[in-house]
Amino acid sequence: MNTIKEIESTDGTWLFLAPIRNLRLFKATNFEFTVDNVTFVDSSRLANRRKRFGFPFPVSEIKKRYKGSIDRFFREEKTFATLRLTGTGKHLKQKFINQINDELAIISLSQLGYSWRSHNSSPVLSEERKLGKRSCLMLNVSTEASFQPNEVVGKIGPLNLDDRWFNFQKKVFFNNLLKIISGKTRVAPHWRRDIKNAAILAGQSQGGHDIPQCFLLNIIALETLLTQRDDKYSDRLPERAEAFIGWSRDWEIDRFEEKIKDIYDKRCLFVHTGQRNQINIEDILFSDDLLLNVLTNITRHPDIFGSKQNLIDFSKKIQAEKVLGIKTRIRPKTLMLIRPRYKEEDLEKI
């Protein structure tokens, strides 16, 4: 019998399968979902669809080979990720894990605009991030009153890809984003890479709960979409965001330009001096809104924004019209501004 080391050192086409936590698939997606390369499938459909996924023999046969040790693997989670790669097994394992994590982050991004951050889920490889608990004792030494708060740490509950989720995604950016990432919608190759990288970063932010880290991921995603090397980011970020949403009265009324410069200053303080305490939930939610609108307008107009240079040229023309004081002829009437409305409780935690 070959050892594990000998098996993983062989070349061939490898089928990977991994259980996924906090992701549920429903009839709306036909119980499976593909972002780019990885397919996520409901566990109850795995056996019937195994030939399409490349299983050379029935799932029941796999269970027999491993006897009792594999039962928990197949039983614990309702969703599996599957992917085929060609090469040497030991060299492909980390690539498989990386691709799953990237595509789970992109699925997590679908929560942007769909649910409040405090209600978001965090789909992960089965046991990578378990829910935790923290407890402390609070004693008011002036009044001698005390209490012991207990909190769950982490995201509770799954992201359900159901009818409600499916119908919402038709209205904003997510379906158009997937078409660009998978190559179904043609854009410049480097631009496709930038859009995918920004989606992964923003998706990691949606599934996180550390305020400064989530904020930083959002800002880097915005920089990836709106800026290029040698730009003065503090000027170019608001200028290019204005190209998308500056037509709305909200731009002036809600002081978008000032707020964008403010969050960029906070980003710099965090990155260069480690100042985390300047960043609050309002900053994250504002950067969420920016991302929602930038992604929606980019992905709805691949004919206009087919490359980053197209986006930059578009912004320059908008700025030229602004300087000349003339009515815009550049912006399409199909640009959108989406403004989520937050409640007081949304400002308390993410």
Q: Positive or negative CA dihedral for 71, 52, 78, 154? A: positive
Name the stretches of the chain with pLDDT < 50: none
Structure tokens at 350: 């993410």
Contact 62, 123 (CB under 8 A): no
pTM of the model: 0.90
Nearest Cα to Cα of residue 313 among 217, 220, 202, 188: 188
Contact 126, 20 (CB under 8 A): yes
pLDDT for the residue 128: 61
Nearest Cα to Cα of residue 286 among 340, 245, 232, 335: 340
Q: What secondary structure does DSSP assign to 165-230, as a single string? A: HHHHHTTSSHHHHHHHHTTSS---HHHHHHHHHHHHHHHHHHT---HHHHHHHHHHHHHHHH--TT
